[in-house]
């Protein structure tokens, strides 16, 4: 497992396990399997409705708490200073934790215009030691610049849609300038067409790997944090087996050529 050091000195695993759109029952089993395989980072959100299941799997795993990195996110309807503090308490209780590793604002929801006050609330949670690091998700450059200018506090992480079809080069450049870690959701672009792409399949055949492993390895070599999801034990193990090979510069260049700018999720400037 490779790790990255966040801008506040906290260490975060570069490969995590996501549970978006995973049912309550499946979450317990999938997270348990992921922890058995070797994952030590789990990413959930209030909106996913499975924080309690994540907490149960973590408690049942026997993995020491200090080896785990648990992330959850605050939903749009809980934005605002006081509302965010209450939402955090609810998530922490559902997870069964005394301290969270990373708390994110799930979306900027610009039409609500509350994300600056929400960010101030996260700053208080961090200052109080209730969360080890704070960040955002789906923030565009103007959203990032606004919270930094308004509060003087730079997010440790921005979790965004990112895959070979949507490589977010400009956003990653701004992240690098501010020391913000880039975390990719939907890292495989929801599979299907991307994993069937001739370039990805050709690179996979060359390395004796699966298309998904090639794309995940691409993320890691770019420096992204990545959180693939699966409920299938074989796929959970497959997605973890990406640390014993390396893509060459030609491979990386070919994947860079797959950019189309197409999203599989909502536009952060419009989603509220």
- Cβ-Cβ contacts under 8 Å for 70 (sequence gap 6 or more): 41, 42, 44, 54, 58, 95, 97, 100, 101, 102
Query: In Å, how far from its chain's centre is CA 63?
Result: 21
Angle, nearest 10°, between helix axes 51-61 and 81-95?
40
Task: Reply yes or no on whether 126 is catalytic.
Answer: no
Q: Which of 39, 48, 103, 115 is catalytic?
A: 48
Which residues belong to the active site?
A: 48
């Amino acid at each position: 497992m490779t790790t990255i050091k966040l801008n506040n000195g906290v260490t975060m695993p570069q490969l995590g396990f996501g549970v978006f759109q995973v049912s309550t029952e499946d979450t317990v089993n999938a997270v348990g399997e992921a922890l058995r395989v070797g994952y030590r980072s789990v990413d959930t959100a209030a909106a996913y409705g499975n924080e309690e299941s994540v907490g149960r799997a973590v408690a049942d795993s026997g993995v020491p708490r200090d080896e785990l990195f648990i992330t959850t996110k605050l939903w749009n309807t809980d934005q605002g200073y006081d509302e965010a503090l209450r939402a955090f308490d609810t998530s922490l209780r559902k997870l069964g934790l005394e301290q969270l590793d990373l708390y994110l604002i799930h979306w900027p929801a610009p039409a609500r215009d509350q994300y600056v006050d929400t960010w101030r609330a996260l700053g208080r949670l961090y200052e109080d030691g209730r969360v080890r690091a704070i960040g955002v998700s789906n923030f565009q450059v103007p959203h990032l610049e606004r919270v930094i200018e308004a509060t003087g506090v730079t997010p440790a992480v921005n979790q965004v849609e990112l895959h070979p079809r949507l490589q977010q080069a400009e956003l990653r450049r701004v992240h690098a300038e501010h020391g913000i870690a880039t975390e990719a959701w939907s890292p495989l672009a929801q599979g299907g067409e991307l994993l069937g792409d001739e370039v990805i399949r050709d690179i996979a055949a060359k390395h004796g790997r699966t298309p998904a492993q090639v794309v995940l390895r691409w993320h890691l070599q770019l420096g992204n944090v990545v959180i693939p999801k699966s409920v299938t034990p074989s796929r959970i193990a497959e997605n973890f087996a990406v640390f014993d090979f390396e893509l060459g510069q030609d491979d990386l260049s070919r994947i860079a050529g797959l950019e189309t700018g197409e999203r599989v999720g909502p536009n952060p400037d419009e989603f509220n």
